[in-house]
Amino acid sequence: MVVVAAGSGSRLGAGVPKAFVSVGGATLLEHALRRVLGCPAVQLVTVVAPAGHLVAAREAVAAASAPTGVRIVVVSGGVDRRDSVAAGLATVSPDFDVVLVHDAARALAPSSLFASVAAAVRAGHPAVVPGLPVVDTVKEVDDDGVVVSTPDRARLRAIQTPQGFSRAVLERAHAQLGAAVTDDAALVERLGLPVLVVPGDPLAEKVTTPRDLAHAEAALRATSS
């Protein structure tokens, strides 16, 4: 399991990397780790943190208190998300044939979501991503802002993490050169392999802006009351 937390959080603008922003008494990274560790299938977690925040990442690991037998490793990330995932993947020993990749920024993704994604990979799907139906009409535009197309909304999904992969497929996907992508599944699509979408969870929505942080806080309050 690779948890990427090495981004700067520029859109959140909190003055510290996003994973170390606190909400409801814990950092986003600690929240994410607690939920990851609540999934019994998880045996190894690699946290990919900003190079200057390895100590803070280890503190979040300690606070999340891993169950006995679960190993947690902390490594530093790269310039973009893809580099950070690759740094995490490099720490996963070849014995593991299923690898999940998760954004720490999706801090409230429930343990059940990790379990359902992992189960679908084990059932034989090489790549599995959670997704929710899209509520807005989505349009593709050209460089001048003129609409090129309007895809049928019923067929669109907003994709989340954790994303699950057969280890061999994820390694092949990452070995491809170039390609600016925003998730690992897109690299698998470029290999021409199928990517299965399973039901996502509103709690797995990403904290990107200050408004998302307020939503996360409200969600935490709602679940603890």
* Contact between 173 and ligand CTP per CB under 6 A: no
Site string for ligand CTP, 203-222 (x = CB under 6 A): ---x-x--------------
**Residue of 78, 111, 186, 217 interacting with ligand CTP (CB under 6 A):** 78
**Residue of 33, 72, 100, 104 interacting with ligand CTP (CB under 6 A):** 104
Residues 118, 98 contacting (CB under 8 angstroms): yes
Minimum distance, C-beta of residue 114 to ligand CTP, in the bound complex (Å): 15
Piece of 9-17, 92-100, 129-137, 147-155 that binds ligand CTP (CB under 6 A): 9-17
Between CA 125 and CA 195 the distance in angstroms is 8
Tokens of 166: 């057969």
* Contact between 76 and ligand CTP per CB under 6 A: no
Q: How many residues bind ligand CTP, per CB under 6 A? A: 22
* Contact between 10 and ligand CTP per CB under 6 A: yes
Tell me the CA end-to-end span of the chain in Å, nearest whole number.
Answer: 30
* Bond prior to 162 in cis (omega within 30° of 0): yes
Minimum distance, C-beta of residue 157 to ligand CTP, in the bound complex (Å): 18
**Residue of 31, 35, 81, 167 interacting with ligand CTP (CB under 6 A):** 81
Site string for ligand CTP, 51-70 (x = CB under 6 A): --------------------
Q: Which residue type occupies 117?
A: V
Task: Calculate Rg over the CA atoms of the chain.
Answer: 17
CB-based contacts of 1, cutoff 8 Å, min separation 6: 36, 42, 44, 45, 46, 99, 100, 101, 102, 114, 162
Between CA 54 and CA 189 the distance in angstroms is 33
* Contact between 103 and ligand CTP per CB under 6 A: yes
Residues that bind Mg ion (CB under 5 A): 7
**Residue of 39, 45, 75, 77 interacting with ligand CTP (CB under 6 A):** 77
3-state SS string for 74-131: EEECCCCHHHHHHHHHCCCCCCCCEEEEEECCCCCCCHHHHHHHHHHHHCCCCEEEEE
* Contact between 130 and ligand CTP per CB under 6 A: no
* Contact between 101 and ligand CTP per CB under 6 A: no
